[in-house]
Amino acid sequence: EPEVTQTPSHQVTQMGQEVILRCVPISNHLYFYWYRQILGQKVEFLVSFYNNEISEKSEIFDDQFSVERPDGSNFTLKIRSTKLEDSAMYFCASSRDRGFYEQYFGPGTRLTVT
């Protein structure tokens, strides 16, 4: 069964550094998402992406964040200048369509900012 994959599984970076988290969504899916979960808190929506542009974003997704689909398979989340509070588990997801369609989640990337 097709799965969403994410790399790396764990990334450690220093405050102020740029990080890129990578995801390979399921190949025939059209919608792509990033969520994050700070330790002990709820899973929070960051952004959704469709037709090569952001279709919805949360207030968390400020100018420090960007997303890109650089080729036909990868979907990336870039954090330009990491802060301590960006430490979290980041989940990528994809779906065939929006709304009632199932979002398929990746295993997550644990980002630790020191």
In the complex, the residues that contact other proteins under the rule CB under 8 A are 3-4, 31, 33, 35, 41-45, 48, 50, 55-56, 58, 91, 98-100, 102-108
- Look up residue 109 and give its amino acid: T
Please give the C-alpha separations between residue 20 and each of 10, 52, 81, 99, in angstroms, as whole numbers. 12, 18, 11, 28
Q: Nearer Cβ to other proteins, position 69 or 98?
A: 98
Q: Nearer Cβ to other proteins, position 77 or 82?
A: 77
CA gap 47, 32 in Å, rounded: 8
Beta carbon of residue 80, minimum distance to other proteins (angstroms, whole number): 22
